[in-house]
Amino acid sequence: MSLDRPDSMQSKREQAAAGAAVGWRTRARVAWRDLPRPQRLRIGGCVAYVVLLTLLFIQPLTRLMLYAAGSDVHPHILLVPFVTAYLLCVQRRPASAGYRSSILGTLAVCGIGLAALAAGIWWRGSASLNDELALMALAFVSFVAAGGFLFLGSKWMAAAAFPVAFLIFMVPLPDAARLWLEKVSALASADAAALYFSLAGTPFVRHGTVFELPGIVLEVGQECSGLNSSWALFITSLLASHLFLKSPWRRIVLVAFVIPLGILRNGFRILVIGLLCVRVGPHMIDSLIHRRGGPVFFALSLVPLFGLLWWLERQESRSKRNH
């Protein structure tokens, strides 16, 4: 009986991985060659169109990516194109009959893109950077969708509805929408925090989003609304529901669960910061758990989210077996 040396085992794993990659590329080439020539021309034309469109929008897209990289609310924008490309690669291919141009769909979506582009140019310099980039991103996404309708048709677009619609997350939240969501989230988080303080037996006096605690006064400002984490949680739930669930109502349950989950999570964060300030000292308001603790509480909120996803997936599998 012979034992493989660790370096030989690693070499075998590398060979297996390389073989799998080669196999995937071979299958992709075979699938491409098996397509009728008109379909290959349409797909090639659509890819060329998207590349050309990206080059035309390269300046606003570069500004958008730099803006997203430095933003607390929109860092997900950097990942959206790659997630969309992955979803398009793994989805079941639509019927060949879908490769027919849809002029009505092209004109409708192109009209949205032209309106957004005109508004972005008209308000350049007077609108905020966020809103200006939102309009340009909306124009780009609309023109991408218009290319899908033009080259691949309405049936293909219906089959690829989720990946294409996911591109909308490249559009930053407009300032007005973000401010409204922050106000609503801050008030709801304050309600949750008040419940937590009551359950913890901590005396407090509340005035709207202001809490008078022993030794310190806390205000749940809009910047403490938890919108950043809740928005990321919402996008995560949409992706998870699409990838792992088939039933529409189970998908709705998972995504809707994010609303109370985000509020309760942020209320719990306020509770933790408040208790630290009361029991350790007011200086804890400047601690890392307040300034940089968002990712920790976001990670904690993933536990119940994926727990619900696991339960819904099990129920769905059991339902299929029974039928």
Q: How far apart are CA 289 and CA 294, in angstroms?
A: 8
Q: How far apart are CA 198 and CA 170, in angstroms?
A: 41
Q: How far apart are CA 65 and CA 55, in angstroms?
A: 14
Which residue ranges make up each domain of the chain?
36-171, 177-318
Ordered per-residue pLDDT tens for the chain, 323 residues: 444 454 555 555 555 444 444 555 666 566 556 667 777 788 889 999 999 999 999 999 999 999 998 877 788 899 999 999 999 888 755 544 457 888 999 999 999 999 999 998 888 878 899 999 999 999 999 999 999 999 999 989 998 999 999 999 999 999 999 999 989 999 999 999 999 999 999 898 998 889 999 888 888 877 777 788 889 899 999 999 999 999 999 999 999 999 999 999 999 989 998 888 888 888 887 777 777 767 788 888 999 999 999 999 999 888 877 76
153 φ/ψ sector (left φ>0, alpha ψ -120 to 50, else beta): left
Query: Which residue type sits at 182?
Result: E
